[in-house]
Each structure stands twice: as structure tokens, then as C-alpha cells.
Amino acid sequence: MASQQIRCTVSSCYYYAAGDNCAAEEIMVRADPAALGKSGMEVGDIGGEARQSNHTLCETFIPHQQGPKPGIRRIAK
């Protein structure tokens, strides 16, 4: 399987890799998570360093100390 090429600058994420790359095996992107009513995103306020997925609008985001998310491996970059 070829590796994906997702660029990301959220260095506080478990899946962040050198060169501003995402090392998650897969990612979840939603148009507007709040409009769906339910999502797997943590709750928080926007501002400062990303600590929750709604700080990034990436549902795959998880802080380094909490990673990995269940079922999502970190691939080598």
C-alpha cells in the first residue's frame, strides 16, 4: 500500500511527522462536525496550541500523550 501524502502543521498531534506530514494511516475529514450533532471529536475552545480535534477541524487529531486513536495506526514517514 502506498503511503498517503497529507500535509499538517499541528505538531501537538500524535500523528504529526517531520516535515509537516501526517503519519496517520487514515484520516477523517468532515465538512462541518458541529452541524452533524455527533462526532468523535473532543470538546474545547479555539485558540493557542491545538489540544483537541476541534482546534484543528481534523477528527483524526489526538494529543501526543493520548495517542493513538483506536483503530488508526501511525505509519512510518
The pLDDT of 26-35, averaged and rounded, is: 69
- Do residues 69 and 60 make contact, with C-beta atoms less than 8 angstroms apart? yes
Q: How many domains does the chain have?
A: 1
The helix/strand count (H/E) of the chain reads as 1, 2
Pick the more confident residue, 55 or 7.
7
What CA–CA distance (Å, rounded) separates 22 from 10?
9
Confidence category of residue 18, pLDDT binned at 50, 70, 90: very high
Q: Which amino acid appears at position 40 of this protein?
A: G
H or E segment at 49?
A: none
The mean predicted confidence, pLDDT, of the chain is: 74
Count CB atoms within 10 A of the CB of residue 61. 28
The domain of 62 spans 1-77
Q: What is the distance between the terminal CA atoms of the chain, rounded to a whole angstrom?
A: 13
